[in-house]
Amino acid sequence: MHNATTLSRRIRDSFSRGGHTKPNARLRVLNLTRQTVLADCVEVADHGATRRKGLLGRSGLPAGEGLWIVPCESVHTFGMKFPIDLVYLDRKKKVKKVTSGMAPWRLSACLSAHSVLELASGTIHTTQTRPGDTLEFSSALPPRDGRISPDASVPGGSKPGK
């Protein structure tokens, strides 16, 4: 049984071992319960710097993109310029709580969560994601144009033991 942090590192490391070095590897998130795709391009924030930065400094979050913060049980939108949807998950990736359209300068928490998925506003409504649903994370294809977003917050090659 792997927790969410271990899973995110294992997925990131698997890209590196296969000669397909992808320091900014992305994940695809599927709601298994509803058979809907929440996002095709999710970055992972699984250590200090990326968790602290989150989505700060961005002007928006396009539909189909997101940020998975591991571990995390609360988030804020202080200093953000756009609303986001939040999906709080337990260690088995079961949805504990959803928050739709959280405006800038707000706080949200779910103390029973282990991680949170930040998504473009409207994603929860579109996918009908609800508490109790189970999500699946898998590797995503690289961006079609081959570019990496300049404000990507995925760690690039962590040091051993981190």
- Tell whether the model's pLDDT for residue 39 goes beyond 70: yes
Question: Rounded mean pLDDT of 125-146?
Answer: 85
pTM, entire model: 0.74
Query: Any residues with CB less than 8 A from the CB of 134 and at least 6 apart, and which?
Result: 31, 32, 33, 92, 93, 94, 95
- Tell whether the model's pLDDT for residue 132 goes beyond 90: yes
Question: Rounded mean pLDDT of 76-99?
Answer: 97
Fold for 4-15+26-139, please state it. Jelly Rolls (2.60.120)
Task: Return the number of other C-beta atoms located less than 10 Å from residue 29's C-beta.
Answer: 27
- Residue environment code for 61-99, b if the CB has 16+ CB neighbours within 10 A, otherwise e: beebbbbbbbebbebebeebeebbbbbbbbbebbbbbbb
SS3 39: strand
Question: Rounded mean pLDDT of 110-116?
Answer: 97
Contact 89, 133 (CB under 8 A): no
